[in-house]
A and B are shown apart, each in its own frame.
Chain A
């Protein structure tokens, strides 16, 4: 049924456009973008002329850490606000499927992340201006890695936002979840030996590291894809649960 599938994506687009408009019609998007750019800019420029290397490694290193706060902040309201404002009752009694709502909201958050990353291209332009021998491939891979990490964090954020009608609760929950995934790799040495391979596989840093080195392996892509899918699926399940309360 290609017709009905087309309609479903039109619904995803409807939710996506509504959320994006809500971001840019309020101050949320602007404040978070400015804070994100200020922090990445400071980290980039404070060391840029010292280390004398023509890459964006500092940016790629610090962005996942800033994402820990930045992404929960932009996803916390996505579902929670609909619940506290009563508009959830409108959304789910319209002929929209739960997955259309969740995916539309997720894509809006990912788009805002992409916009934020887009602004950091100024650092890249600076680099172009002063440096030689730039490895463009590594930089593209670095950005792709950041976008994928952002996608996983955003999916986790949408899931946490669907758990609560309180945005602060949603923020703290999603921060905790992404923080655990972020720290897994760093905790590896404290883990029992037989678990290291598994822990390493589910840790974000490990896969991001691979991609940032310019190795875009299907295993890493499968990892990011399945993490995003898992969190979105959980969010859809949580939305369905309201009926059975």
Chain B
């Protein structure tokens, strides 16, 4: 269990994160989401003891990271954003280096090596120099380094950044697989990825937590707009005006009616569904409905709202 309480970090005058709070439960995959520069990496670096907080505290299994730095580093597997590999080493040497620093040697190392080769699928490259690997394999080796001591907690900073679409799918599968047994924090600026992989997400913007919960929980509290596409015949201009007068919640976004024939785009808040009323009104007014389709507000809209409208990059 990881507890982040009131955590702040400033670099000189710049506040990277300000008084953030969240919790990661055991066995959970937490998606750590936010635009670039939101403070994701800074937060993860504090949890992994690379940085010391300016205020607040982080506990991992009830141990304070500032006081029990060495113990926490033993328990955590960490894949930093800039995958730190020694290009001059062979993949095997790189893994042995990390294993030895964790006092995994001899028979234990052989066992650990076979395990990470299987899990990460790096059998073909194990004797190749790290510097010659493709980006996808580098990322797998980075993951292999992070899990060589079979840690209970995995912290992955933008694990899919810079990979091609196939590699992204593979690395997500790998993370999901690891997440069945481990507590994982995975940061990303890609919403779909977090939605697909994570059990829960924390959205960070400008160094503050702006949302925390599962997809369903976040959407429940979100008053977005639904839009309705209508293709109609024999709809008079007067009846369209009448519609907005009758249902004040409805706004006409687009109107390309020509002789009563054409396309209408209506918009209303998602709180209540107005499709039935609109249908009845159309029948009463003698419209012929050729097509009617609804577009729901999505998590993307929520993400945009949270990270741009709430004083995002422009603030």
Interface residues on A, range: 20 to 34
The reply to whether B84 and A95 contact each other, CB–CB distance below 8 Å, is no
Residue of A nearest to B71 (CB): A95
- Could you tell me which residues of chain B, from 246 to 288, have a CB within 8 Å of some CB in chain A? none
The reply to whether B78 and A96 contact each other, CB–CB distance below 8 Å, is no
Interface residue tally for chain B (C-beta within 8 Å): 26
User: Given the interface contacts A14-B97, A93-B49, does A22 sit within 8 Å of B88 by beta carbon?
Assistant: yes
The reply to whether A90 and B73 contact each other, CB–CB distance below 8 Å, is no
Answer yes or no: B6 CB below 8 A from chain A CBs: no
The reply to whether B52 and A95 contact each other, CB–CB distance below 8 Å, is no
- Could you tell me which residues of chain A, from 4 to 21, have a CB within 8 Å of some CB in chain B? 7, 10-11, 14, 18, 21
Residue in contact with B73 in the complex, picked from A14, A93, A243, A245, CB distance below 8 Å: A93
Which chain A residues border B98 with CB–CB below 8 Å?
A: 90, 94
Stretch in A44-52, A81-89, A119-127, A165-173 touching the partner: A81-89
Residue of B nearest to A89 (CB): B80
Residue in contact with B52 in the complex, picked from A85, A94, A96, A243, CB distance below 8 Å: A243
Which chain B residues border A94 with CB–CB below 8 Å?
A: 73, 98, 101-102
Answer yes or no: A190 CB below 8 A from chain B CBs: no
Residue of A nearest to B105 (CB): A10
Answer yes or no: A187 CB below 8 A from chain B CBs: no
Residue of B nearest to A90 (CB): B84
A-B contact pairs, 28 of them (CB 8 A): A10-B100, A14-B97, A22-B86, A25-B88, A26-B88, A85-B84, A86-B80, A87-B84, A88-B84, A89-B80, A89-B82, A90-B80, A90-B98, A90-B145, A92-B49, A93-B48, A93-B49, A93-B50, A93-B73, A94-B73, A94-B98, A94-B101, A95-B70, A95-B101, A243-B49, A243-B50, A244-B52, A245-B51
